[in-house]
Amino acid sequence: MTTLLIFIIVLFVAVALWQMVKIFDLAQVGTSNNQVATDKDNKFNGYMMIGFLIFIYAITIASFVYLGDLPLMSNSASEHGPGLDNLMVISMIVIFTVQIITQFLLHYFAFKYRGEKGKKALFYADNNTLEAIWTVIPVFVLAGLIIYGLFTWNDIMNIDESEDAMVVELYAQQFNWKARYGGEDNVLGKANVRLIDLDKANILGVDEDDPNAKDDVIVTELHLPVGKPILFKMRSQDVLHSAYMPHFRAQMNCVPGMVTQFAFTPTVTTAEMRQNPDIQDKVANINALRLERKAEIEEAGQDLTYEFDYLLLCNKICGKSHYNMQMKIVVETQEEFDAWMKEQKTFENSLN
Amino acid sequence: MSATAETHVHDDHDVHHHKETFITKYIFSQDHKMIAKQYLITGVIVMGIIGIMMSLMIRMQIAWPEQPNPLFEALLGKWAPGGVMDADIYLALVTIHGTIMVFFVLTAGLSGTFSNLLIPLQIGARDMASGFLNMVSYWLFFVSSVIMILSFFVEAGPAAAGWTIYPPLSALPMAQGGSGMGMTLWLVSMAFFIASSLLGSLNYIVTVINLRTKGMSMTRLPLTIWAFFVTAIIGVISFPVLLSAALLLIMDRSFGTSFFLSDIFIQGEVLHYQGGSPVLFEHLFWFLGHPEVYIVLLPALGITSEIIATNSRKPIFGYRAMVASILAIAFLSTIVWGHHMFISGMNPFLGSVFTFTTLLIAIPSAVKAFNYITTLWKGNLQMNPAMLFSIGLVSTFITGGLTGIILGDSALDINVHDTYFVVAHFHLVMGISALYGVFAGVYHWFPRMFGRMMNKNLGYLHFWVTAICAYGVFFPMHFIGMAGLPRRYYTNSNFPLFDDTTNTQAVITVFALVAGLAQLVFLYNFIASIFYGKKAEQNPWNSNTLEWTAPVEHMHGNWPGELPQVYRWAYDYSKPGYEEDFVPQNVPMKDGEEELHH
């Protein structure tokens, strides 16, 4: 139905455009028009420039009003998140300040200095001082952003191996995720895709002879204890994938043939996040929208009601079902985590 | 003495001219103006229509993923049974749309059209240094285009690994349907394309260095020529690296080597590859891939510089700074490629280095933007369609460029990498900006190419609808990205988390469809004006550059008689002491007149 409506709209717009083309063509009959802009054209387009400037501001404001709550940009759930969000906010302020001023100057000048017959432009070819000013100002602003950015980057990426971090392997394959915990010794057993043995259900290619591997735990839902530093080791068995955990401001590619890593400390449990007013607003909004598409959603076999959960998404094109490669992340208290972990089978016991 | 020599040369040309048959004039032409038109029609118009159609299908799929769309079935046939698009073909559309727009339309189409047309005409040369190589370059491009389009007709579909064709996805036919014959054709097509691009670029470089007319020193070159010249140099430096990456990928695919592959288990079996790294491919790809952005953008900026100065009736502000910033951008463009790879698994220290170089590139870009704005200041702006598109380019260049500050910052990139934020950023800063450059160039030089004028009112209509829709499409898209929505998803309906973006997606798609329709206005104007447009005067825009001193009629050798001699830079607009508000480059200096820009 929507498609049909859209096609009708598009059709009408096409007809409208065609009509306008006709009108423009007819308007030219009998005038000695050499297709070079006249004063009238300059005036019309000059005013259009101001109109366009207003349009740019309007769409900026509209985007912020309707889309600017961005729960993913403001309620981070990891220790490094707030610092990153802060940098983002500062960068956005810089960007929008420059955007608003330069767009104003550009379009206002286009309006103000629109051509008139007999007027002569100012012959003004150079001014070293001016150019120095707008070279130096960006230098300082960018230097500030670079320095702040690099400190943030180093904080996030410098992983202290000696720190008391829980090691978790994220394992990617077309088109799903697995997670492997080091078990009681917190050491991951050696692994290589050449050791994969589907008959024995050794799907991650973990080395069965490695004593460190025996207590490893392989799961399809990622559980993390709150407040505990987590060191992720990423592997992929087939093509490039990217482990994207937007709520934690975390992302790293999974590359076949090498182990990549990323570390963060989750700070907000799933239960706490569900109580967050911003998230509740977002969820309520989503559920209202889902109710409108009820039939469609039920036909697709999904739950109608959406409940907030952290997610791990694949964010590197990886093939046909790239759009559905996800894993639920549950952040919980240490006790809940320990209880959950107890229920899981160790690698040794999971083999056939 | 030189006069007789020139006349003699011209006579030779005249003799040559009469021997032209239909085939040598229109098909296997060695005349730079004809080759420019060939590039314009195949590279920009035909490939552009295909690329834009694909983008509209992509947009409709994103906005209404569940609804069968009769258009899909009509255009995609077996890949959209009942109007429901196949997930593989969605990725193929994304891939080929990117490839066609970046390489075929905005590299070959843009440079091929305007470098070919303008380099000889604006530097005062009779033709390119090698007309034959120029012809070969075009026909290699043609073959490359045909192969790329043919890849849609192979059994398992065209390449579908994204325009960046990262292995192992692109290397393993079992990973994806499109990585079979489709990817082979993609690689073959690109090999032809790179050969074409290299021949073209070498020709441009040699022509600019050797064939400038008397008095045309490098510091008197119009900024268009500077931009085309530097673009050609970047192309010669970086395209061979892509060729080597493509060759190594072909080796991995077909001859069992392991340059980019290691430790792979797929579809129940372990492959023999060992020791390679996909990250190596990413380095090689982006060593071209990033300069490529400037290969696309610089010619558009050059065109804009020329058109803004001409239509403002003012000298371009800060000519030397403009040249310096082109050179700075060109240099920096070759050392920033790593900002596409912050989270690829490369050493985080490299990330710091690339953040630094990347944000440096914002400085010459800012200088260019400010200089354009200052050129408008106290001008006498003639709002021709070309001028509107040039102002539009500066606007989208600023909007799109600014978000680069976020993406170029390694820390911030972690969270917006590969989301719609990136899609919005690069479409504005290089896609839309470069397309505006193409449109500006077509409107401005149409009289030079076809001897007729395009209809200005249709031009206004085309611009304003396009301008509004471009912002309507890409501005809200940033916000979808900042909500964390990854790009290249066939449908987002498996993520209720993103359900609140669906309405925005629909709005964006409507803007995109209207923008697509607006291009039909351009197409109509373009084709109709070739045949029925008003006959053009020799210098309709009162411009200073040499191409407007040549006769309107198509002639081999560009100028009858002597080549024009150059006495001044290209930007003596509204110069005090002259009655007219322009002084063409071939007008000698008056006694005591100063060449102000030195």
**Predicted complex ipTM:** 0.93
* CB-based contact A304:A297 (threshold 8 Å): yes
- Contact state of A45 with B517 under an 8 Å Cβ cutoff: no
Q: Tokens representing B579? A: 């009655």
**DSSP track, A48-68:** HHHHHHHHHHHHHHHHHHHHT
Which helix (H) or strand (E) segment holds residue B140: the answer is helix B131-150
Contact check, Cβ <8 Å, A113/B376? yes
Average pLDDT for B340-367: 93
Give a yes or no: residue A121 inside a domain: no
pLDDT computed for residue A71 by the predictor: 67
Q: Is residue A91 part of a domain?
A: no
Residue B27 clears pLDDT 90, i.e. is over it: no
* Interface contact A35-B455, CB threshold 8 A: yes
Mean pLDDT of A219-225: 96
pLDDT of amino acid A173 = 94
Say yes or no for a CB contact (<8 Å) between A98 and B461: no
- Judge whether B283 and B341 are in contact, CB under 8 Å: yes
pLDDT single digits (tens) B229-272 = 999 999 999 999 999 999 999 999 999 999 999 999 999 899 99
| CATH code of the domain covering residue A282 | 2.60.40.420
**Is the pLDDT score of B11 beyond 50?**
no
pLDDT digits (tens, 9 = 90+) for A182-212: 998 999 999 999 999 989 899 999 999 999 9
Q: What is the DSSP letter of A313?
A: E
- In chain A, the residue whose alpha carbon lies closest to the alpha carbon of B270 is A194
| Band of residue A67 on the pLDDT scale cut at 50, 70, 90 | confident
Q: Which of A196, A255, A258 sits opposite B270 (nearest CB)?
A: A196
Using alpha carbons, select from B330, B437, B441, B364 the residue that is nearest to residue B394. B437
Give residue B303's pLDDT band: very low, low, confident or very high (50, 70, 90). very high
Amino acid letter for position B300:
A
Subunit contact A88:B406, Cβ cutoff 8 A: yes
Of B374, B521, B574, nearest to A123 by CB-CB distance is B574
For B541-559, write each residue's pLDDT tens digit: 999 999 999 998 888 899 9
In this predicted structure, what is the pLDDT of residue A31? 54
More confident residue, A18 or B201: B201
Chain B's closest residue to A28, CA to CA, is B457
**Dihedral sign for Cα atoms in the order B286, B289, B292, B296:** negative
- Give me the residue label for tokens 């006959």: B535
Mean pLDDT across A129-143: 91
Contacts of B328 by beta carbon, 8 Å cutoff, 6+ apart: B361, B363, B364
Q: Of the given ranges (A78-82, B5-9, B67-71, B354-358), which has the lowest mean pLDDT?
A: B5-9
Position A64, amino acid: F
Residue B19 is predicted with a pLDDT of: 65
CB atoms B415 and A251 under 8 Å? yes
Q: Which CATH superfamily is domain B25-262+272-549 in?
A: Cytochrome c oxidase-like, subunit I domain (1.20.210.10)
For position B3, what pLDDT does the model report?
41
Query: Using one digit for the tens of pLDDT, what is the confidence trace for B75-114?
Result: 888 899 888 999 999 999 999 999 999 999 999 999 999 9
* pLDDT for the residue A97: 95
Report the distance separating Cα A149 and Cα B353, nearest Å: 12
Q: Report the SS3 class of residue B103.
A: helix
CA separation (Å) from A1 to A4, A5, A7, A223, B81?
Answer: 5, 6, 10, 42, 19
Rounded Cα–Cα distance for residues B163 and B103 (Å): 10
What DSSP string runs through B425-475?
Answer: HHIIIIIIHHHHHHHHHHHHHHHHHHSBPPPHHHHHHHHHHHHHHHHHHHH
Query: Who's near B222: CB < 8 A, 6+ residues apart?
Result: B122, B305, B306, B545, B570
Q: Which two tokens stand for residue A224?
A: 């993390």
Counting Cα atoms < 13 Å in the Cβ hemisphere of B515 gives: 23
The string of DSSP codes covering B304-317 is: HHHHHHHHHTSPPT
CB B193 within 8 A of CB B103: yes
Residue A58 resides in a domain: no
Residue in B91, B345, B480 closest to A255 by CB: B345
CA nearest to B366, candidates A143, A130, A134:
A134
Q: Is B334 within 8 Å of B358 (Cβ atoms)?
A: no
| pLDDT value at B17 more than 90 | no
Alpha helices (H) in chain A, listed in sequence order = 2-27, 39-67, 71-74, 81-112, 128-157, 270-275, 277-292, 294-299, 334-343, 347-350
User: Which strand (E) or helix (H) includes residue B208?
Assistant: helix B181-210
Chain B residues whose beta carbon lies within 8 Å of the beta carbon of residue A42? 381-383
Amino acid identity of residue B488, one-letter, is R
Q: Please, are residues A228 and A334 in contact by the beta-carbon 8 Å criterion?
A: yes
Q: How far is CA B108 from the centre of its chain?
A: 7
At residue A2, the pLDDT reads 64
pLDDT tops 90 at residue A219: yes
Provide the CB-side half-sphere exposure for A314 (13 A, CA). Answer: 30
Q: How many domains does chain A have?
A: 1
Smallest CA-to-CA distance from B479 within B504, B458, B497 is with B504
Q: How far is CA A78 from CA A85, A168, A260, in A?
A: 11, 16, 19
Q: Looking at residue B556, what is its pLDDT?
A: 86
Query: How large a percentage of chain B has pLDDT more than 70?
Result: 96
> How high is the mean pLDDT of chain B?
92
In angstroms, the CA B590 to CA B594 distance is 9
Confidence of residue A32 (pLDDT cuts 50, 70, 90): low
* Range(s) of the domain holding residue A287: 166-350
Residue A167, strand partner residues: A231
CA-based nearest residue in chain B for residue A259:
B345
The answer to whether the Cβ–Cβ distance between A256 and B399 falls below 8 Å is: no
> Quick one: average pLDDT of B211-238?
96
CB A142 within 8 A of CB B405: yes
Cis ω before B370 (30° cut-off from 0)? no
A1, pLDDT greater than 70: no
Amino acid at B503: N
Six token digits for residue B74: 């009509």
Position A86 in a domain? no
Using the predicted structure, report yes or no on whether residue B33 has a pLDDT greater than 80: yes
The answer to whether the beta carbons of residues B118 and B547 sit under 8 Å apart is: yes
- Of A25, A42, A105, Cβ closest to residue B373: A105
State whether A122 and B379 contact (CB < 8 Å): yes
Give buried/exposed letters for B478-513 (b at 16+ CB in 10 A, else e).
Answer: bbbbbbbbbbbbbbbbbbbbbbbbbebbbebbbbbb
Lowest-confidence pick of B10-14, B62-66, B171-175, B425-429: B10-14
Contacts of A327 (CB under 8 A, 6+ apart): A176, A177, A179, A220, A221, A222, A311, A312
- pLDDT value at residue A301: 84
- With DSSP H G I counted as helix, E B as strand and the rest as coil, what are the percentages for chain A, rounded to 5? 50, 20, 30
Domain ranges in chain B?
Answer: 25-262+272-549
Name the percent of chain B lying above pLDDT 90: 86
Question: Measured between CA atoms, how close is B573 to chain A, in angstroms?
Answer: 7
* Overall average pLDDT of the A71-87 stretch: 88
